[in-house]
């Protein structure tokens, strides 16, 4: 019969040399993965709700082309629409809603919205900004690149590029705003453009540069760019963002700040500007 003896501590299995090296290697791999987390955050998925990123850019460019085409057609209704709003004021509740929606189109309001998004959604910021101890790492000098990769840089560029393009056009093209134009005597929408229109404006006592800068609409460009950027990052809210942008655009027409063609062409520039920076996909933020 085989005899058995109690197991002593000396009989316990010995750790092999390879075991500690494997554990050490695993720890190194974990640390290396953590250091690359910022750069891979937005590359975890190559689609926006299943849609390839390149397809999203093509859709933005197609939308920009459609808005530009409609803007050209809208020249035919610029004067009738402006005359109607000059003679009729929309109900106060409607105007209150439209004026509130300007937050989505004004530069300061857009900056606040993006700031709130960055504070609430940590995926928009690289880990070095949410972990103070990591600011001492060598990666600090690459903060701007990590900001861009994480997403907040793309959102800012997409939201504001269209407005910058509008500013360039405004410096080259003069158009009298509806609130200052002599709409009763204007023969066509083209009569609101150029030196002749601005000369008549000065003769009637309007002298601020803002009254000459109707074309195109900077508010509309910023609203459209912000909506495109937020829909890229948070696709489930794309209809909400589009609605807010549309209300912001309508506010510019209802307050006689712009003609319909101004806002449509401005929105086209905003969407086209956003498409330049939304070439890579982003995942919609979920719970941490």
**Residue in the block written with tokens 């397809």:** 55
Percent of the chain whose pLDDT exceeds 90:
51
Round to whole Å and give the CA distance between 80 and 131.
57
DSSP letter (8 states) at residue 248? H
pLDDT tens figures, 153-162: 889 999 999 9
Instruction: Name the average pLDDT for the chain.
Output: 78
235-280 confidence digits (pLDDT tens): 999 999 999 999 999 999 999 999 999 999 999 999 999 999 986 5
User: Is the per-residue pLDDT at 40 higher than 50?
Assistant: no
Q: Quote the distance between the C-alpha of residue 172 and its chain's center.
A: 25
Give the start-to-end residue ranges of the domains of the chain: 46-74+101-131+141-174+214-275
Residue 284 C-alpha from the chain's centroid: 15
Helical packing angle, 238-254 and 218-233, nearest 10°: 170
- Residue 80 structure tokens: 């009738």
* Ranges assigned E (strand) in 25-70: 47-48, 51-52
Stated as kind and residue range, the H or E segment containing 165 is helix 152-172
Model confidence pTM above 0.85: no
């Amino acid at each position: 019969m085989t005899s058995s003896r109690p197991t002593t501590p000396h009989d316990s299995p010995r750790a092999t040399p390879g075991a500690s090296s494997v554990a050490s290697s695993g720890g190194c791999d974990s640390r290396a993965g953590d250091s690359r987390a910022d750069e891979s955050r937005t590359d975890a998925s190559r689609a926006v709700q299943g849609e390839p990123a390149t397809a999203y850019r093509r859709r933005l460019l197609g939308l920009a082309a459609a808005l530009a085409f409609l803007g050209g057609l809208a020249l035919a209704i610029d004067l009738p629409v402006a005359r109607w709003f000059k003679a009729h004021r929309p109900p106060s509740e409607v105007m209150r809603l439209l004026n509130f929606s300007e937050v989505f189109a004004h530069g300061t309001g857009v900056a606040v919205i993006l700031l709130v998004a960055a504070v609430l959604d940590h995926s928009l910021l690289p880990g070095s900004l949410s972990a103070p101890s990591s600011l001492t790492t060598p990666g600090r000098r690459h903060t701007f690149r990590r900001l861009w990769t994480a997403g907040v840089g793309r959102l800012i560029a997409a939201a504001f590029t269209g407005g910058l393009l509008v500013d360039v056009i405004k410096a080259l093209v003069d158009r009298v705003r509806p609130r200052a134009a002599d709409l009763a005597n204007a023969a066509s929408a083209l009569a609101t453009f150029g030196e002749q229109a601005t000369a008549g404006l000065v003769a009637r006592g309007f002298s601020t540069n803002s009254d000459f800068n109707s074309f195109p609409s900077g508010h509309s460009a910023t609203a459209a760019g912000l909506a495109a950027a937020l829909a890229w990052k948070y696709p489930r809210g794309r209809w909400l963002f589009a609605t807010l942008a549309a209300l912001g655009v309508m506010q510019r027409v209802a307050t006689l700040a712009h003609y319909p063609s101004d806002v449509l062409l401005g929105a086209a520039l905003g969407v086209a500007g956003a498409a330049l920076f939304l070439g890579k996909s982003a995942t919609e933020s979920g719970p941490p």
